């Protein structure tokens, strides 16, 4: 990976933000494109929101993109483009927590801060037999303290990268390579047959179902879109006219929702896509294409865009999937 062994804090930071909630195979192309387009943080800071969001399209978790821009602009303006080199100052940057701050501090500046990510949680819990849930305050404190005790203070960057790689390649979540592991003579999980039960997680994710009914309003060759501005999923991304419901609508209920568009030229056909699973939500999306005689006067916000220009805007993944056949 191009960020392995990297000393430039900007590139390390960019890779860490992209790889949050993203597989390496997917994030690699995005990283390379961002570095090519924005070789230094000042250039990223000068870019428009629209351009950066379009480049981010497909990665999801768009709050990362908003934080990326906010931090780049802060460093460009307040630090004259120089990335801070102290752990505390790095941790206070928008979108950066203890893990990312430790990674940047140790990899770029050789600061003695232990990185504790999912791989490290797994290695430590198995080797030392720690059954305290990793997603509790107590668990995080126990693992952080142990990680700091084990850290090679003279070579923190090399140590951090090594234990992370060890967790990713040897001490894997499923089918770990225990027979090849140098710790198999002392590893608690291996000796006590608890590999599959460690690490322990306490919290269960509660999934919320949401039903999105998108009306693709078209007048002549223009389509109505608007930007999501509320503090919700997909903030700052664009979408079609939306009616959200707390349950699936039947055909009669859907017909009632269409009454406000009484100047239709067509009888809309509903297109239903498979639900999209987010971290804590399931989005059930349906699309109805409405050909209108004139633009509705009640639409005070948003904009009408020629159909062939839609690809210039950043849409959520489920809308991009619909647009493949639109």
Q: Contact 96/90 with Cβ under 8 angstroms?
A: yes
Is residue 106 within 8 Å of 115, Cβ to Cβ?
yes
What is the 8-class DSSP label of residue 244?
E
The DSSP result for 196-214, as a single string, is GG-S---PPPPPEEEEEEE
Handedness of CA 80, 95, 22, 16 (dihedral sign): positive
Q: Is the CA virtual torsion 59, 63, 65, 71 positive or negative?
A: negative
Bond before 108 cis per omega within 30 degrees: no
- 106 burial type by CB count under 10 A (0-12 exposed, 13-18 middle, 19+ buried): buried
Sign of CA dihedral 2, 8, 11, 13: positive
Q: What is the DSSP string of 164-200?
A: HHHHHHTS-SSS--GGG-TTTTT-HHHHTT-GGG-S-
How far, in Å, are 256, 288, 300, 322 from residue 261 at the CA level? 10, 12, 15, 22
Cβ-contact 170, 181 below 8 angstroms:
yes
Indicate which residues carry an active-site annotation. Answer: 16
């Amino acid at each position: 990976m191009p960020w392995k062994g990297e000393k430039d804090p900007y590139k390390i930071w960019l890779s860490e933000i992209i790889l949050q909630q993203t597989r390496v195979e997917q994030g690699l192309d995005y990283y390379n494109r961002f570095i090519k387009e924005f070789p230094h943080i000042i250039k990223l800071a000068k870019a428009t929101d629209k351009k950066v969001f379009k480049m981010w399209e497909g990665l999801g978790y768009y709050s990362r993109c908003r934080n990326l821009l906010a931090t780049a602009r802060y460093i460009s303006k307040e630090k004259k483009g120089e990335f801070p080199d102290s752990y505390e100052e790095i941790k206070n940057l928008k979108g950066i927590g203890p893990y990312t701050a430790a990674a940047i501090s140790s990899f770029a500046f050789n600061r003695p801060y232990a990185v504790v990510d999912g791989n490290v949680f797994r290695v430590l819990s198995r080797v030392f037999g720690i059954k305290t849930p990793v997603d509790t305050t107590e668990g995080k404190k126990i693992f952080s303290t142990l990680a700091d005790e084990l850290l090679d203070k003279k070579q923190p960057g090399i140590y951090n990268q090594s234990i992370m790689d060890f967790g990713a390649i040897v001490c894997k979540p499923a089918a770990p390579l225990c027979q090849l592991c140098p710790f198999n003579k002392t590893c608690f999980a291996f000796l006590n047959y608890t590999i599959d039960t460690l690490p322990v997680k306490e919290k269960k994710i509660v999934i919320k179902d949401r039903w999105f009914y998108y009306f693709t309003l078209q007048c002549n060759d223009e389509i109505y879109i608007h930007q999501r501005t509320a503090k919700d999923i997909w903030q700052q991304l664009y979408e079609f006219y939306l009616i959200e419901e707390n349950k699936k609508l039947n055909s009669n209920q859907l017909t009632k929702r269409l009454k406000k568009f009484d100047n239709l030229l067509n009888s809309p056909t509903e297109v239903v896509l498979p639900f999209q699973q987010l971290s804590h939500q399931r989005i059930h999306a349906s699309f109805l294409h409405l050909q209108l005689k004139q633009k509705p006067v009640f639409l005070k916000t948003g904009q009408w865009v020629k159909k062939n220009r839609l690809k210039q805007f950043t849409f959520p993944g489920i809308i991009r999937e619909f647009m493949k056949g639109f």
